[in-house]
Amino acid sequence: MDKRTKDKIKCDIDHFNSDPSSLSPMEAERVVAGILSPLLAEDGYVVRRLPVYSEVRFDLIADRPQSSQYQSNSIGIEIKHLHRPLGIQGMGAPIVAGTLEGLNRVMFVAPIGFTSRAKEIAHRYLPLQIELIDIDILKAWIDRIEVDSNIDRLEVDQILRVISRRFAQLIAEDAQNLNKLEWRHLEMTLAEVFEGLGFSVELTPGSKDKGKDIILECYVSGKKHSYIVEVKHWRAGNRVGQSTFKDFLNVIVRESRQGGLFLSTSGYCDNAFEMLTEIERGRLKFGSEEKVVSLCKTYVKADSGIWFPPELLTEVLFEGTQ
């Protein structure tokens, strides 16, 4: 169950627990249907409201069809939104109706609770099972339901992708928009850009990324190659020096990557590349603000269907770099 549904059920429970005079019988039925439908759906049931003049003597019916996971089952649900605990005088007709209809269970839902005599009847052995549901039981029921974080995560990821796509469009339109982005926003935007250009992409966590911001994979001559991208977006305008390159090169060698792309939107120190050997320059390429803008422009073209990736994606990765 997702968090939004769980929060809505909690609100509906509070509504059902309000003054009985504030809810009509039909309104109480609607509220309880909204509470029980997702709760029972966790166990394979489908809840339906019955017409006012239905021959079946229940407010709701919950059916679970036979499947590889569940046995078929039917529950008659009777809702009593009263000022007082429900007693046995309000239970007789539904119990008889449930027996005659061949239901497996009858569920009574009453916010105030039940009399001791009603509880005694519910615990007796009868042709069908009797369940008494009050507000405390409803609250305990929803508390037991775990929120599916994957659903929430998926929704958040979709939102972030839309935002990153828009950031890429803005950068492609005007490089000055780069100054409006924080470093993490740029990393997410570039991850979206590389994926849109055809790479398999992994965006590393914002902290403890172990010297790499984005991991890219693509096929070169039929073999999978892996590259890492490090992004420095220092809005203060500081330039990157040699020590930072050495750390990045160590990551490339230690993790047996085929190469790496270092992007700095504020440029590099004048002597930044002097200590790099030819071999190191072969594995490590450097790009500045112009490279970031170029990647975003290519992404926008690809998104519009007017650009297609070359046979070697590494041409896109390293084009226009040092």
Among 56-70, 181-195, 288-302, the least confident range: 56-70
Tell me 44's DSSP state. T
Q: What is the pLDDT of residue 2?
A: 80
Q: What is the pLDDT of residue 192?
A: 93
Average confidence (pLDDT) over 175-187: 91
Question: Are 174 and 296 spatial neighbours (Cβ–Cβ below 8 Å)?
Answer: no
- Evaluated on CA atoms 117, 120, 125, 128, the torsion sign reads positive
Q: What is the pLDDT of residue 150?
A: 63
Is 149-318 the same fold as 3-144?
A: yes
Q: Greater confidence, 92 or 276?
A: 92
What is the domain partition of the chain in residue ranges? 3-144, 149-318
Q: What are the two backbone dihedrals, phi and then psi, of residue 20, each rounded to the nearest 5 degrees? A: -55, -30
CATH 3.30.70.270 holds for 3-144 = no
Q: How far apart are CA 252 and CA 211, in angstroms?
A: 9
Pick the CATH number of 149-318 from 3.40.1350.10, 1.20.1440.120, 3.30.460.80, 3.10.105.10: 3.40.1350.10
Share of residues in the chain with pLDDT > 90 (%):
37
Among 11-25, 183-197, 250-264, the least confident range: 11-25
**Residues sharing a CB contact under 8 Å with residue 42, sequence separation 6 or more, in sequence order:** 1, 145
Q: What is the pLDDT of residue 122?
A: 87
Q: How confident is the model at residue 135 (pLDDT cuts 50, 70, 90)?
A: very high
